[in-house]
Amino acid sequence: MGMLYGAILGLTYDVVYTEILGIYMFLLPFLAYLISKSMKILQNNILVACLTALLFTAVLEVVIFQMNIILSFADMGFGEFAERRLIPTLLLNLAFIIISCYPLKRMIEMLDLQGETE
């Protein structure tokens, strides 16, 4: 189901924000597939899930940057890309994960308890 959502979101993002259709539409479902397979192999705890999300966010950003380099849409080096886009993106994602992680975990646990009592 995550792959379908990734494809729909990727297509929407490509239509609205990018000049080429298909980059996000392909990458988001592909990364969702890789995340689902890697989470079956790795331990299933919140820290591993957070680190996996950050890792695949970095992979997405680097692959998109490389595609833009290949297509001559980007004219900056990797150092400038890392300083201006990659590191701020990862820091903001980390902040969002830290802020939302435990409230979401508690909400899911409460929903599980409600489902068990009904």
Give the pLDDT means over successive 10-residue stretches in the chain (118 positions).
90 88 91 90 85 94 93 91 96 94 87 78
pLDDT confidence of residue 77 = 94
Domain boundaries, the chain: 1-41, 44-118
pLDDT confidence of residue 118 = 66
HSE, side-chain direction, 13 A CA sphere, residue 65: 19
Give the per-residue SS3 of 36-95: HHHHHHCCCCHHHHHHHHHHHHHHHHHHHHHHHHHCCCCCCCHHHHHHHHHHHHHHHHHH
pLDDT confidence of residue 91 = 97
pTM: 0.82
Q: What is the C-alpha separation between 83 and 36, in angstroms, rounded?
A: 29
pLDDT confidence of residue 79 = 95
pLDDT confidence of residue 114 = 82
pLDDT confidence of residue 40 = 87
